[in-house]
Amino acid sequence: MAEPFGTGAGIVGVISLAIQITQVVVQFGMDWKYAPDNIKTFMAELGTLKTVLSETNTNIILNPDFEAAFQNRPSLLLSQLGPNAPSTTDTKRMLEICQRELDSLLKDLKNRGQGHRLGWERFKGAFLAKDTRDSVENLCRQCQTLNSMLSIDAAVLGATMYKEVREGRKEQQEWRQAEAKTSLAIKSGTEQSNRWQENQDFQAVLNWLTPINYADQQSDYINRQQPGTGQWILDSAEFQTWLNTDKQTLFCPGIPGAGKTILTSIVIKELTALFYNNKSIGVAYIYCNYQRQDEQMIDDLLASVLKQLAECQSSLPVSVRDLYDRHKTKRTRPSTEELSSNLQSMATAAKYSRLFIIVDALDECQASNGCRQRFLSEIFSLQTIVRANIFVTSRFIPEITEEYSGRMSLEIRASKEDIQRYLSGHISQLPAFVGRSTDLQEEIITGIVNAADGMFLLAQLHLDALKGKRSPKAVRTSLQKLASGSDAYDYAYTDAMKRIEGQLTDQEQLAKQVLSWITCARRQLTTTELQHALGVEVGESKLDKENLSQIDDIVSVCAGLVTVDQESSIIRLVHYTTQEYFKRLQSRWFPNIETDITTICITYLSFDVFKRGFCLTDSNFEERLQLNPFYKYAAQNWGHHACKISSLSHVLTQGVLDFLKNKPKVEASSQGLLAIKRYLSHSNYSGEVPRRVTGLCLTAYFGVEAVINLLLETGQVEADSKDSDSRTPLSYAAQHGHEAVIRLLLETGQVEADSKNSDSRTPLSYAAQHGHEAVVKLLLATGKVEADFKDSSSWTPLL
Q: For 490-511, what is each residue's pLDDT tens digit?
A: 989 999 999 999 999 999 999 9
pLDDT score recorded for residue 705: 94
Q: What's the average model confidence in pLDDT over 123-143?
A: 70
User: What's the angle, vertex CA 348, arms to CA 342 and CA 349, rounded to 5?
Assistant: 85
- DSSP category for residue 295: G
**What fold characterizes domain 215-409?**
Rossmann fold (3.40.50)
Q: Residue 539: pLDDT above 80?
A: yes
User: Alpha carbon of 635 to those of 60, 271, 307, 570, 640: distances in Å?
Assistant: 51, 41, 30, 19, 10
> Which stretch, 113-127, 135-149, 524-538, 565-579, has highest mean pLDDT?
524-538
Q: What's the average model confidence in pLDDT over 361-389?
A: 88
Nearest to 306 by CA among 393, 234, 251, 378: 378
pTM of the model: 0.69
Q: What's the average model confidence in pLDDT over 5-31?
A: 68
pLDDT score recorded for residue 2: 37
Q: Residue 5: pLDDT above 80?
A: no
Q: How far, in Å, CA of 626 to CA of 37, rounded?
A: 9
Q: What's the average model confidence in pLDDT over 592-596?
A: 96
Beta bridge partners of 251: 392, 409
- DSSP category for residue 226: P
Compute and round to an integer the Cα radius of gyration of the chain. 31
- The 10s digit of each residue's pLDDT in 438-485 is 999 999 999 998 888 888 888 888 998 898 888 999 999 988 888 877
Q: How far, in Å, CA of 319 to CA of 342, rounded?
A: 6
Averaged pLDDT score across all residues of the chain: 85
Q: What's the average model confidence in pLDDT over 61-72?
A: 74
26 CB-near residues (< 8 Å, 6+ apart):
none
Q: For the stretch 110-127, what's the b/e string if a residue is b when 16 or more beta carbons lie within 10 angstroms of its beta carbon?
A: eebbeeeeebbebbbebb
What percentage of residues in the chain have a pLDDT greater than 70? 86
pLDDT score recorded for residue 16: 82
Q: How far, in Å, CA of 733 to CA of 86, rounded?
A: 63
Q: How far, in Å, CA of 330 to CA of 172, rounded?
A: 54
What percentage of residues in the chain have a pLDDT greater than 90? 45
pLDDT score recorded for residue 639: 96
At residue 562, φ and ψ (nearest 5 deg) are -125, 140
